[in-house]
Amino acid sequence: MSSLKQLAIRGTLWTIIGYGASQGLRLGANLILTRFLVPEAFGIMALINVFITGLNLFSDIGIGPSIVQNPRGDDPNFLNTAWTIQVIRGFGIWIFCLFLAKPLGDFYGNSQLFLLIPIIGFSMVISGFSSTSLLTLTRQISLRKLIVFDITVQSIGLIIMIVWARISPTIWSLVIGNLVMNIIKMVASHFLIKGYKNVFAWDKTALEDLVNFGRWILLTTAMTFLATQADKLILGKLFSLEFLGIYTVAYTFADLPRQIMNRLNSKVMFPVIAKQINLPRAELKQKLQEKRNLLLMGLIGGLTLLICFGDWIILTLYDNRYSAGAWMLPILAAGLWLPMLAMTIDPVLYALGTPQYVAVGNGGKFIYMLLLIPLGYKLFGALGAVIVVAANDLPYYLAVIYGVWKQNLSLLKQDITTTLLLIISVGTVLFLRWSFGFGLPIEGLFSQI
The total number of residues written for the chain in this structure = 449
Q: 179-188, 209-218, 271-280, 286-295: lowest mean pLDDT where?
A: 209-218
What is the C-alpha separation between 151 and 172, in angstroms, rounded? 22
Average pLDDT over residues 193-215: 81
User: For residue 133, how far is the Cα from the chain centroid?
Assistant: 21
Which is nearest to 328 in space by CA: 306, 343, 301? Answer: 306
Sign of the alpha-carbon torsion through 38, 39, 43, 49: positive
Residue-wise pLDDT for 374-429, tens only, equals: 898 888 888 888 899 899 889 999 999 999 999 888 889 999 999 999 999 999 99
| Dihedral (Cα; 142, 143, 148, 149), 10-degree rounding | 70
What is the C-alpha separation between 7 and 144, in angstroms, rounded? 11
Q: In the predicted model, what is the mean pLDDT of the chain?
A: 83
Read off the amino acid at residue 379. Answer: L
Residue 226 in contact with residue 361, Cβ under 8 Å? no
Q: Where are the domains of the chain?
A: 1-238, 243-449
Q: 28-37, 60-69, 366-375: lowest mean pLDDT where?
A: 60-69
The 3-state DSSP class for residue 362 equals helix
What is the C-alpha separation between 369 and 73, in angstroms, rounded? 37
Residue-wise pLDDT for 309-356, tens only, equals: 988 988 888 878 888 888 999 999 999 999 999 988 888 887 777 778
Q: At residue 217, does pLDDT exceed 70?
A: no
Q: At residue 20, does pLDDT exceed 90?
A: no
Largest CA distance in the chain: 68
What distance, in Å, lies between the first and last C-alpha atoms of the chain? 61
What is the C-alpha separation between 243 and 311, in angstroms, rounded? 17
Q: How confident is the model at residue 447 (pLDDT cuts 50, 70, 90)?
A: low
Residue-wise pLDDT for 220-259, tens only, equals: 666 776 677 677 777 777 777 778 778 888 888 888 888 8
Q: Which residue has the higher pLDDT, 317 or 91?
A: 91
CA atoms within 13 A on the CB side of 291: 21
User: What confidence score (pLDDT) does residue 175 get?
Assistant: 86
